[in-house]
Amino acid sequence: MRIVPWLGAALVIACAGLSPAWADTACGPATVPLPAVTAAAKALQLVGGKHEDMDTDVSADERKALQAFKQALVDGVEARTACAPASASAATLEKDLATTLAAAPAEKPTPDSGPAPGFGEELRVGVTGTPARPGLMLVRLNFAIPCGDDNLLFGYRLENGQWKRVLRWQSPDYDSIADALGAPFNVLPLADGRIALTHGTPWCTSTWSKFGFDLIQPGEGATPQRTIFHLDHDYRLDQDLSLTARPDGFELRAEVGMLDTDILMRQGIFRYRVAGDNVERIQPAARNGRDFVDEWLQIEEPLARAWSDPPAAAEIIKARADLLKDNPSPAYGVVRACKGEAGRYQVEINLGDSGPDLHRYALLRQEANGFTMLRFGAKADPACTGPDLMKH
């Protein structure tokens, strides 16, 4: 196993231009890895060496060794961070932790030179300071597991000249690799001091998996950290998963599955407005009218109602429920612009190849930042006769 500092990723925090000078022997500069970390890493790799290729289950012995390895990492980070002076820079602490947590150096295997890394291999550390909240330092640990990786994140805030841990975020004990906090892993400090986190989940045999998101309030004084909001959603794990801050909240984008399996996937937009502890999903939710209809059919009923025209909402939601009950995988047909009002469109939904009731029609109005469902039913609007906007 080796540990690799994420060069170029470390940001400098307050007084970062000063290198820390560890004052006493116990807190002297790290020169060798901590024995407990080395022993836990070797024990995990020994147990993990028996893991079958492409097996997504994690055995009881692997779970036990994995938890011991994580705890050794936590203890190592705690010990070295406790030694860091108030003037410590993220870059210097990163270098110190890289030495403290490393086992015997080893070359990173490539597809042509060795097997895929297993449990506990390829350990990396990254330390950043957060511009949104000076004095808060984030420490990320990343290591390999079969078919992917796992991550831990810690946050430390300077209090009375000492670095106090105010955030610890990691996966619980898991019996499947799908429950690890894997790549792509994004950490976004928000202007209000909260931390937005998103991650993928490893898998061996499919490009479809799920991503997770958490909005966390770090601890403050005697108040522990707490999770404000959590989201899980299916996505295509070989595509980009982005997380960006907005003045009123945050936005995630990922390639997600469509109900129409012939089209298969589209870009999902997950934009949220944050006010205190209230986290509200807002539009846009899709890049075009057809994708909006697909998202509208999949979201929870209260949100589908909120994105529908209020006078017709009851009728629209009933028609939606009837369609999903009888046709959980509809196909999308032509998308046409409508005469008489700019920004009005109709999306055709095909329900089957035979029978008297083969279509549904979603009538939409494009708003400044999304769409509103105006009508949903079996009758087409005669004003919607334009060319198919989705035909290439």
Is residue 304 a part of any domain in this protein?
A: no
Is residue 138 a part of any domain in this protein?
A: yes
pLDDT band at 29 (very low <50, low <70, confident <90, very high): low
Give residues with Cβ within 8 angstroms of 118, minimum separation 6: 45, 48, 49, 51, 144, 145, 146
For 390, the domain range is 314-392
- Integer angstrom CA distances of residue 211 from 254, 262, 278: 9, 23, 22
- Indicate whether 23 pLDDT > 50: no
- Indicate whether 299 pLDDT > 60: yes
CATH of the domain at 358: 3.10.450
Is residue 153 a part of any domain in this protein?
A: yes
**Alpha helix (H) ranges present in 84-221?**
90-101
Let me know: does 34 contact 79? Beta carbons within 8 Å.
Answer: yes
Identify the pLDDT of residue 132. 67
- Indicate whether 111 pLDDT > 70: no
- Indicate whether 19 pLDDT > 90: no
- Indicate whether 76 pLDDT > 70: yes
Identify the pLDDT of residue 116. 60
Same domain for 168 and 246?
yes
- Indicate whether 219 pLDDT > 80: yes
- Indicate whether 113 pLDDT > 50: no
Q: Specify the range with the lowest mean pLDDT, choosing from 5-9, 33-37, 79-83, 280-284.
A: 5-9
- Indicate whether 66 pLDDT > 50: yes
Q: Specify the range with the lowest mean pLDDT, choosing from 176-185, 223-232, 287-296.
A: 176-185
Is residue 289 a part of any domain in this protein?
A: no
pLDDT band at 26 (very low <50, low <70, confident <90, very high): low
Identify the pLDDT of residue 12. 26
Identify the pLDDT of residue 326. 83
Same domain for 271 and 352?
no
Same domain for 145 and 276?
yes
Same domain for 207 and 153?
yes
C-alpha angle 204-37-28 in degrees, rounded to nearest 5? 140
What confidence tens digit (pLDDT) does each residue in 313-342 have?
Answer: 999 999 999 999 888 888 999 999 999 888
- Indicate whether 259 pLDDT > 80: yes
Give residues with Cβ within 8 angstroms of 293, minimum separation 6: 332, 347, 349, 362, 364, 373
Identify the pLDDT of residue 32. 67
Give residues with Cβ within 8 angstroms of 356, minimum separation 6: none
Is residue 297 a part of any domain in this protein?
A: no
pLDDT band at 4 (very low <50, low <70, confident <90, very high): very low
Q: Give the β-pairing of 3-5 and 123-129.
A: parallel
Same domain for 175 and 250?
yes
What confidence tens digit (pLDDT) does each residue in 116-158 have?
Answer: 678 888 899 999 987 667 778 999 999 999 999 999 999 999 8
Tell me the mean pLDDT in the region 20-40: 66
Is residue 295 a part of any domain in this protein?
A: no
Identify the pLDDT of residue 339. 94
Tell me the mean pLDDT in the region 41-68: 90
What confidence tens digit (pLDDT) does each residue in 378-392 have?
Answer: 999 999 998 999 886
Same domain for 99 and 242?
yes
- Provide the b/e sequence for 237-257 (b: ≥16 CB within 10 Å): beeebebeeeeebbbbbbbbb
Identify the pLDDT of residue 115. 53
Q: Specify the range with the lowest mean pLDDT, choosing from 46-50, 200-204, 244-248.
A: 46-50
Counted domains in the chain: 2
Percent of the chain with pLDDT over 70: 86
Is residue 298 a part of any domain in this protein?
A: no
What is the phi/psi pair of residue 96, to 5°? Answer: -65, -45
Is residue 300 a part of any domain in this protein?
A: no
Q: What is the mean pLDDT of the chain?
A: 85
Identify the pLDDT of residue 17. 30
